[in-house]
Amino acid sequence: MSGTAEARVRRLTHRQGPNFSLGFRRLPAAKRQAVYAAYAVCRIADDIVDEASNETPVAETERKLDAWEAEVEAAYAGKPHETATRALADVLGEFPIPKDAFTGLIEGCRWDLVKHRYETFAELERYCELVAVTISDISLAIFGVVDSRASEFGRSLAIALQLTNVCRDVGEDTERDRIYLPLDEMEQFGVTPGEILAKRPSPAFRSLMAFETSRARDYFRRANPLPECIERDARLAVRLMGRVYATILERIAREPGAVLHRRVRLGALSRAGVVLAGLLGRPFVS
């Protein structure tokens, strides 16, 4: 990988994905650079959608996603043109990263252009498979697998991370008229889309969020065996990434109304606690 491409994808990852980069920094050099490259390719696809304004025609954003998907194809053909895809092409000879994981993620990005509500958890879970389980597939190809159950546990962790994002970003998502919380579950708890869009943290909303965070916690619990299923030099990185998000989830569970008005983040002391828990080999959740 060229020094320029390597530095650029590293900076993008640290800037745009601080929760992930806490773990990425603990990987050995070759795996770390492969993860940075893959993250940058995924991040750019996500940014194409998120940086489009409400006035941007959907067709225009779709064309940009088409172009980025073609650029991913070019990377696998050994003819990339962009910094991120050049960095990716440089690591494909060493790591068997599946191309369909990138194309699946881009398909998930397309969903965000046209689908702003999810009727059921089954619909939301399918979205999680596109935008998160695909990233697990990419990551496992880099981390190295020593147990065939890694894919199953990786899927659980990926969904846990994405459900944590859904809970964390409820308020931010309203700015784009997006509600990822399943509508049938909102109805079950007596929460209307209007209340979410108005950012009113009612007792019913707190009950709904208790249900949503509990389900995410269950996925973390299912994922607890994952670190032992991957190569030893990647285990700490996975423990840290999982613990960061599990800690954010617990903070949301304690103060669910906060997500309507601000993004829940971890301070330096909490992040130090995450690192210690990772070093001690503690599970994502008990």
- Dihedral, CA atoms, 229, 232, 237, 242, nearest 10 degrees? 30
Local confidence pLDDT in tens for the 286 residues of the chain: 445 555 554 544 444 445 556 778 889 999 999 999 999 999 999 999 988 877 789 999 999 999 999 999 999 999 999 999 999 999 999 999 999 999 999 999 999 999 999 999 999 999 999 999 999 999 999 999 999 999 999 999 999 999 999 999 999 999 989 999 999 999 999 999 999 999 988 999 999 999 999 999 999 999 999 999 999 999 999 999 999 999 999 999 999 999 999 888 878 777 788 888 887 788 999 8
Residues 23 and 132 reside in one and the same domain: no
What is the SS3 assignment for 265? coil
Are 144 and 216 part of one and the same domain? Answer: yes
Range of the domain at 10: 1-114
Q: Provide the token pair at 38.
A: 């893959």
- The domain that holds 49 is classified in CATH as 1.10.600.10
Q: State whether 152 and 262 are in the same domain.
A: yes
Same domain membership, residue 149 and residue 106: no
pLDDT of residue 23: 74
Tally of residues, the chain: 286
Residues 56 and 122 in one domain: no
50, 153: one domain: no
- Report pLDDT for 7: 52
**Domains in the chain, number:** 2
**209 lies in the same domain as 146:** yes
* pTM attached to this predicted model: 0.90
